[in-house]
Amino acid sequence: MDNLIDGWTDALKAERAAGRGVGGPQLRRSTLRVIAWSSLLSLGLGLGCSGGAGDTDSESGASATTTTETATATSTATTTTTASGSESASESGSGTFEETESGTPETTSTSTTGVPDPFCGDGNVDDGEECDDGNAEDGDACLSTCVAASCGDGFVGPGEECDDGNADNTDTCLGTCVAASCGDGFVGPGEACDDGNQEDADDCTNACALASCGDGAVQGGEECDDGNDDNGDACLDTCLSAICGDSILYEGVEECDDGNADNSDECTELCAAPSCSDGIISGAESDVDCGGDTCDKCGLDQACGADSDCLQGSCIADKCTIVATCDEILALDPNAVSGTYTIDPDGEGEGEAFPVSCDMDTDGGGWTLVFHVFDLGGHPGGLKENDFIGLYDHNRFTDETWSYDAINTMISDGVGEGMVTLVDQGALDVDLFADKWDDVRMSCALGNKVEQPTNYAQVNGYATANGSFKLHGATANGSSYMVDAGLQSVDQGTIWHDNEVNSGNSGHYLCDYTNAGSSGAQFGFCYTDHLNNPNNLDYGDSIVSIAFGTGYGADGWSVGFTAECGDMGTTAQQNAGTYSIWIR
Dihedral pair phi/psi, residue 6, rounded to 5° = -60, -35
- Which of 49-56's residues contact partners 24+ apart within 8 Å by CB, and which partners? 49/88, 49/89, 50/88, 50/89, 50/90, 53/90, 53/91, 53/92, 54/90, 54/92, 55/90, 56/80, 56/88, 56/90
Query: 78: which residues sit within 8 A by CB, 6+ positions away?
Result: 67, 68, 69, 70, 89, 90
Beta bridge partners of 442: 457, 581
Q: Reply yes or no: is the peptide bond before residue 380 cis, omega within 30 of 0.
A: yes
DSSP letters of 72-122?
BSSS-EEEEEETTS-EEEEES-EEEEEE-TTS-EEEEEEETTS-PPP-TTS
| C-beta of residue 326 within 8 angstroms of C-beta of residue 343 | yes
The pLDDT profile of the chain, 584 residues, written as one tens digit per residue, is 455 445 534 544 444 444 444 344 343 444 434 334 344 344 443 434 334 333 333 333 333 333 333 333 333 333 333 333 433 333 333 443 344 343 444 444 444 567 788 999 899 998 999 998 999 999 899 999 999 999 999 999 899 899 999 999 998 999 999 998 999 999 988 888 889 999 887 888 888 888 889 999 998 889 999 999 999 999 999 999 999 999 999 999 999 999 999 999 999 999 999 999 999 999 999 999 999 999 999 999 999 999 899 998 888 999 999 999 999 999 999 999 999 999 999 988 888 889 999 999 999 999 999 999 999 999 999 999 999 999 999 999 999 999 999 999 999 999 999 999 999 999 999 999 999 999 999 999 999 999 999 999 999 999 999 999 999 999 998 999 999 999 999 999 999 999 988 655 445 578 877 544 556 789 999 999 988 876 666 677 899 999 986 678 787 778 999 999 998 888 899 999 999 999 99
Query: 530: which residues sit within 8 A by CB, 6+ positions away?
Result: 478, 496, 498, 506, 511, 512, 513, 541
Beta-strand relationship, 105-111 and 94-99: antiparallel
- Count of H helices and E strands in the chain? 5, 22
Q: For residue 459, which of 430, 434, 480 has the smallest C-alpha distance?
A: 480
How far apart CA 373 and CA 578 sit, in angstroms, is: 6
Other Cβ atoms closer than 10 A to 10 = 11
CA torsion sign for 109, 113, 115, 120 is negative
| C-beta of residue 373 within 8 angstroms of C-beta of residue 547 | no
- Residues, the chain, total? 584
How far apart CA 581 and CA 396 sit, in angstroms, is: 14
How far apart CA 226 and CA 236 sit, in angstroms, is: 8
In eight-state DSSP terms, residue 16 is H
| C-beta of residue 345 within 8 angstroms of C-beta of residue 327 | no
| Percent helix, strand and coil across the chain, each to the nearest 5 | 15, 20, 65
